[in-house]
Structure 1
Amino acid sequence: MGKLDGKVAIITGAAQGMGAAHARLFVSEGAKVVITDIKEDEGQQLATRLGDSVLFVKHDVASESDWQRVLDQTIATFGKVDILVNNAGITFAKRLQDISADDYVKIFKINQLGTFLGVKTVAKPMVAQGFGSIVNISSLNGLVGGAVGYTDTKFAVRGMTKAAALELAPAGVRVNSVHPGVIETPMISQPGTEAAVKEFAKTIPLRRIAKPEEVSKLVLYLASADSSYSTGAEFVVDGGISAQ
């Protein structure tokens, strides 16, 4: 018996990286999963590989109308929504002096606005059914400083999680944030970042970069009934970085 038998989940930014790892694990635990991303080819290919339990929807997380369309298609296909994993996110390998206003707005729209719209969109059906779990993927940089733009939005996701958790708790809807450290995903493989990431890995107490699946297991815990008394909390998976 799977931990998510009978549950329906939406996972954003799930065409690759951590989102894809979350989707694979959720399906293996019995969930029906709607994976969303702007990367249509990769998203559809993953959905095809995972089978009939998965639906891919092309999705701009910064668009309120796109969020409504995702919700409508989820309910039309699987009948409900029990879990939302706000996983979509971006960053730029740029210094403060080199980030343009357009860069900053793009980071804000995907990381912060996209998370807000996701929470807002699923809150109504979750409240109506009396249960639900929302997992917002923040970052280690939602706890400590890092790149300007990325850090700002990830701190905001942390605060938004707490505010939403307090409002939705009486209705049985839980909201928690996950704070990964350095994870082996395409985000950290941008041009110009490889050497810096390797050097940073030497400073991690566990002396390595995490696999996406290691984050997925924590996300599964928060999505499932195993975490039934956890809401408004931060869950850190960073190899011990924040303990230093």
Structure 2
Amino acid sequence: MAGRIEGRIALVTGGASGVGRATVEAFVREGAQVVLTDLNVEAGEALAAELGGKACFIRQDAASAADWDMVAAAVRERFGRLDILVNNAGILLKGSIEDATLDDWQRLMRINADSVFLGCKAGVALMKDSGGGSIINISSIAGIAGRDDYAAYGASKAAISGLTRAVAAHCRRAKYRIRCNSIHPDGIMTPMTAGSYPQGVDPARFTIDADPMNRACLPADVAAAILFLAEDGSRAVNGIELRVDSGQFVMSI
């Protein structure tokens, strides 16, 4: 039985760990050929080796225009096209408007927002020449709901939402057959978020595995939503903000 994205060519940034890794694994399982990129060369190469011929690794700073040119050229040379792009690379820095520094702001904007802007530009250029595709940008609940302790981080993720809608509208008007959607997780159990829990507290206590009504989900839960937006079953879904947050957002309003 063919997989849900059998034969597709996918690119996942920040693919060596967390949500990126879970997405790469899901894509390979469902039949795609995956290019995963990351700054963590050791973890990226290990994952690609583990997955065999269905995945390859490229070292990339996703916030570098030169690196995007290099990755896009490599994808075009090896595969001739790109069907799915997941702009997942990002960092988390805590800080209210009083605590956050300008350096924090600029670093978050560079890594979280500039990377998605550059990724969308590269993705559109590749996809419009090969019949279309799906771009999935990983934002956050912090990008649509105010978080007093994540001011700069929330702003960087909000930028992704606005960019996603603009890309979706542009590609629709241009008739490129490219969809662009954003996903907004909250409380995912990843290495990046582990440090946000109080010392001595086991984060597993707060996962939906422990209690379906808990707040925290697992990387595989987000990867499942990404897979939905990548496949043809979501062909009528374009320009949306998909929340994967165990209902956290609706409980806060």
Q: In which range does the TM-score fall when normalised by the shorter chain?
A: over 0.9
- Residue 151 of structure 2 aligns to a residue whose secondary structure is coil
The corresponding residue for 1:87 is 88
The corresponding residue for 1:162 is 165
Of 213, 220, 229, the match for 2:220: 213
**CA 1:32–1:152: 2 relative to 1, 3 Å:** same
Q: Structure 1 residue 71 and structure 2 residue 72: aligned?
A: yes
List alignment gaps of at least 5 residues for structure 2: none
**Sequence identity, in percent?**
38
In the aligned structure 2, how far is the partner of 1:242 from the partner of 1:101?
Answer: 28
Q: Deviation at 1:201? A: 4.3
Of 177, 184, 188, the match for 2:182: 177
In the aligned structure 1, how far is the partner of 2:143 from the partner of 2:100?
Answer: 19
Of 149, 156, 161, the match for 1:153: 156
What is the TM-score with the length of structure 2 in the denominator? 0.90
Shifted more, 54-63 versus 122-131: the winner is 122-131
Equivalent pair of 1:91/1:149 in contact (CA under 8 Å): no
Q: Deviation at 1:92? A: 1.2
Q: Deviation at 1:96? A: 3.2
Q: Deviation at 1:222? A: 0.2
- Residue 97 of structure 1 aligns to a residue whose secondary structure is coil
The corresponding residue for 2:132 is 131
Equivalent pair of 1:134/1:175 in contact (CA under 8 Å): yes
In the aligned structure 2, how far is the partner of 1:181 from the partner of 1:94?
Answer: 17
In the aligned structure 2, how far is the partner of 1:47 from the partner of 1:99?
Answer: 37
CA distances 1:185-206 after superposition (whole Å, capped 9, x unpaired):
011112xx222885x949x981
In the aligned structure 2, how far is the partner of 1:17 from the partner of 1:181?
Answer: 13
- Residue 194 of structure 1 aligns to a residue whose secondary structure is coil
Q: Structure 1 residue 103 and structure 2 residue 110: aligned?
A: no
Equivalent pair of 1:112/1:153 in contact (CA under 8 Å): yes
Q: How many residues align?
A: 241
Q: Deviation at 1:94? A: 3.3
- Residue 229 of structure 1 aligns to a residue whose secondary structure is coil
In the aligned structure 1, how far is the partner of 2:72 from the partner of 2:194?
Answer: 31
CA distances 1:41-91 after superposition (whole Å, capped 9, x unpaired):
111111110111111011011111100111111222223111100001111
List alignment gaps of at least 5 residues for structure 1: none
In the aligned structure 2, how far is the partner of 1:17 from the partner of 1:134?
Answer: 19
Write out the 4+ residue segments of structure 1 that deviate beyond 4 Å after TM superposition: none
Of 172, 195, 202, the match for 2:198: 195
Equivalent pair of 2:60/2:68 in contact (CA under 8 Å): yes
Amino acid of the structure 1 residue aligned with 2:241: E
Equivalent pair of 1:205/1:241 in contact (CA under 8 Å): no
- Residue 129 of structure 1 aligns to a residue whose secondary structure is coil
When the two chains are superposed, the root-mean-square deviation of aligned CA atoms in Å is: 1.9
- Residue 230 of structure 1 aligns to a residue whose secondary structure is coil
